[in-house]
Structure 1
Amino acid sequence: MKKVIHLMFVSLSVLQFAVAQQTNNYADSLEKHRENYRQEFLKSAGSPLKQEDLTFLRFYEANPKFKITASFEATPAAEPFTMATTDGKRASYVKYGIVSFSVNNKTYKLSVYQSLALIKMPDYKDYVFIPFRDGTSGKETYGGGRYLDFRLKDFQNGQVVVDFNKAYNPYCAYADGYSCPIPPRENHLDVRLEAGEKIYGKER
């Protein structure tokens, strides 16, 4: 009996170690992603941030719980529409599809959109995004919502990995004078997604 208990303890310990190692590996990978994200501000024309501003970027700690394999349903019959932006203008988009996923045993849906302007640009013709608000918006995260980026190749066999740890702020979170898409009502969630980028830490 003692031998069986010992083997069970060893197995549990090995499992706990494997889970901890996987979590650490994910955290390291996410930190590399965030460092590349910071550096993009220095490379991008029209960026609202300079080197000294990067220390004010804030993020939730890595949480693999919010890296979710979601189901995906394309919406090929969707009609183009105009999405409101922060400067009062409207930009043309089409709904590319809908992702469905579970958080705390409850199912949620988010629409994926494709810009009709970017479709015409070779480097971005396969780019789609999810703008969304959640229960943290206007509190711990930017009130105007956050974004997730995808390429069409990310959608395979009716699935896509939606990693809220990579949710980021639009430029409007840092400075005025930018035109940022406002998440449509259908992409407002009542769940708290405590992952990704937080409110910018520097006073505007």
Structure 2
Amino acid sequence: MKKIVILLSVTFLWMSCNSNAKRPLMGKTVYQQELNASFKDASISPLKKKDLRQFKGLDFFEIDSTFIVTSKLVRTENAPTFEMATTTDRKPLYKEYGKLHFTLQGKNQELTIYQSQDDLDDEKYKDYLFLPFTDDTSGEASYGGGRYMDVMTTDITAENTVILNFNNTYNPYCAYNDKYSCPLTPRKNHLDLEIKAGIKVYKK
């Protein structure tokens, strides 16, 4: 799933430079525009062909700056490699990278962040960390299987803080097409509040 970020950037740049584009990019922020552009591109879109023909843009919650928080990272030392459960028999290798502690809506929160071991040897993706979560909107306003957020190791400060922007979340590809194999959000990464920010559930 991490590779979506690179694909988004390439697609967005191409569309921005294309003077023949007849329609403005869909979305209120650069992130939303990039995500919509990738879904509209048949060569990389996870949508089924019939859904792609009717695609008019993804649904997002309104941008809410209160869902941009500073978290404190406590790294997990000597974490073992484990096989993460997915929606199929695929078992990708991950390690627990650490725990993120932050305050949201006046409550102390904690999420576990992971590092893919399969991508460590890839120069393009070795700095990506994987943050899946569910919340009290999951299964209703947002996808029941949870949402994902990408965090870069290069975004972590010397004080071990990192900004989490819940407005910039995305759904696993399984939310759009059951041919994909997607990591399942661990139960411990449930937030006991409503994250009304970021991507909404996909409605055909």
Q: Same fold (TM over 0.5)?
A: yes
Alignment map for 1:7-22 (pairs within 5 Å) = none
SS in structure 2 of the partner of residue 190 of structure 1 = coil
* Residues 45 and 116 of structure 1, relative CA distance in 2, 3 Å threshold: farther
Look up the equivalent residue of 2:195 and give its one-letter code. Answer: L
SS in structure 2 of the partner of residue 85 of structure 1 = coil
* Structure 1 or 2: more helix by fraction: 1
SS in structure 2 of the partner of residue 40 of structure 1 = helix
Moved more, 140-149 or 150-159: 150-159
Aligned to 1:38: 36
SS in structure 1 of the partner of residue 84 of structure 2 = strand
Is this contact kept in 2: 1:56–1:200, CA < 8 A? no
Give CA-to-partner distance per residue, 1:85-126, whole Å, 9 cap, x none.
011332210011111111121101001101111112111011
Alignment map for 1:78-93 (pairs within 5 Å) = 78-93=79-94
Aligned to 1:4: none
For structure 1, the 5+ residue unaligned runs are 1-28
How far off its partner does 1:167 sit?
1.2
Report how many residues are paired.
174
What is the distance in 2 between the residues matched to 1:162 and 1:103? Answer: 11
- % identical equivalent positions: 41
- RMSD of aligned residue pairs (Cα, Å): 1.9
What is the distance in 2 between the residues matched to 1:40 and 1:105? Answer: 36
What is the distance in 1 between the residues matched to 2:130 and 2:143? Answer: 17
Look up the equivalent residue of 1:33 and give its one-letter code. Answer: Y
TM-score, with length taken from structure 1: 0.79
Is the radius of gyration larger for structure 1 or structure 2? 1
* Residues 178 and 75 of structure 1, relative CA distance in 2, 3 Å threshold: same
Is this contact kept in 2: 1:111–1:187, CA < 8 A? yes
TM-score, with length taken from structure 2: 0.79
